Amino acid sequence: MSQITVNQSLCKKDGACVAVCPTRTIALNAEGFPEEVPEAGCMLCGHCVAVCPTGALTHSELPDEAFLPASKELPSPALMDGFLISRRSVREFKKRPVARETLEVLLDVARRAPMASNSQNLHWIVVEDGAKVHDLAQETVNCLQSSGINPARLEAWKSGYDFVLRGAPTLVVGCAPADYEWGKPDCAIALTYMELAAEARGLGVCWAGYLTRVAAVHAPLRQALSVPEGHAVCGGLMLGEGKYSYRKVPPRKPLSVQWI
Ligand SMILES: Cc1cc2nc3c(=O)[nH]c(=O)nc-3n(C[C@H](O)[C@H](O)[C@H](O)COP(=O)(O)O)c2cc1C
């Protein structure tokens, strides 16, 4: 059974659906109308439906109600560049947790990120309780302690300095099936979407590198996070309201680039 249906009275035969299909699942027939090539293996990216200017094309696995109208408003390059380069890792948070409704929006933005072969197989763990975030930091330190950590770090932790999760009130952790080769890049891109969407709402974000690294080798941390069976932790973000705002953008190393 064909998944793709074309309303020939609406179709302008512009070939856009064919051009944008990444798997060549659509071809033009002898009359110039798009037609499904079932053996090509559609990856359900939805581009064919989304690009059609007249709404002539529908896909049985992708109901029309699930599509959003595309934004016509672009931020100016200066606004966008300024926003991107002014983003900072926040390491001092206020105690107030991020509201559930905001987290839902951020997760929804993250699921719009590009993913290899449109896999969409990330699983999210959201820790909304600051005390639980602190317990996860403790479990991370438990592992670091036995695997060789800078003693000054450990002393700092003992005196109440949370170098792991920075006293953040909220933590989002991304997981992917352990045998999925693109889990880490997919998760990093999705978390980057989330980070920028959070920043746009005035929230502060910091990547949870210690926790991610330790979760790969320390089962008690995965248990504390309730990581689903067969999944690996691929990345995480601390989220909350930052205590400080930045007046300047720090310098970066010069670019290393070769033009060919
Ligand atoms: C994958 C990744 C892991 C990171 N892990 C941590 C971390 O565990 N703790 C931390 O304080 N910062 C962490 N950071 C933040 C970096 O230290 C920070 O991005 C870098 O110093 C540049 O500063 P900026 O983000 O303000 O531009 C991480 C960043 C990335 C991309």
Question: Which of ligand 1's atoms lies nearest the C-alpha of 166?
Answer: 11
Task: Provide the pLDDT for residue 147.
Answer: 83
Confirm if 87 and 199 have CB atoms less than 8 A apart: yes
210 lines ligand 1 (CB under 6 A): yes
**CATH 3.40.109.10 occupies which residues in the chain?**
82-240
Give tens-digit pLDDT for 51-94.
999 999 999 999 999 999 999 899 999 999 999 999 999 999 99
Confirm if 143 and 218 have CB atoms less than 8 A apart: yes
Distance 154 CA to ligand 1 centre (A): 19
- The closest alpha carbon to 165, from 110, 93, 259, belongs to 93
Testing ligand 1's pocket by substitution, the residue of 136, 186, 206 carrying the most ligand atoms inside 8 A of its CB is 206
Distance 103 CA to ligand 1 centre (A): 21
Residues 6+ apart with CB under 8 A from 176: 121, 122, 123, 182, 183, 184, 186, 187, 231, 232, 234
208 lines ligand 1 (CB under 6 A): yes
80: left (phi over 0), alpha (psi -120 to 50) or beta: alpha
* Domain 4-66 CATH class label: alpha beta
**CATH 3.30.70.20 occupies which residues in the chain?**
4-66
pTM as predicted: 0.94
Cα separation, 52 vs 196, in Å, equals 29
Give tens-digit pLDDT for 103-132.
999 999 999 999 999 999 999 999 999 999
91 lines ligand 1 (CB under 6 A): yes
Confirm if 137 and 162 have CB atoms less than 8 A apart: yes
Residue for token digits 């793709």? 4
Domain 82-240 has CATH 3.40.109.10: yes
207 lines ligand 1 (CB under 6 A): yes
Distance 240 CA to ligand 1 centre (A): 15
- The closest alpha carbon to 127, from 177, 91, 178, 165, belongs to 165
Question: Which of ligand 1's atoms lies nearest the C-alpha of 208?
Answer: 8
What is the dihedral sign for C-alpha 196, 197, 198, 202? positive
Successive 10-residue mean pLDDT values, the chain, 260 residues: 93 97 96 93 95 96 93 95 97 97 98 97 98 98 89 93 98 98 98 98 98 97 98 98 96 97
Confirm if 243 and 92 have CB atoms less than 8 A apart: yes
Alpha helices in the chain (DSSP H): 16-20, 47-51, 77-86, 100-110, 130-146, 151-158, 183-200, 209-215, 219-225
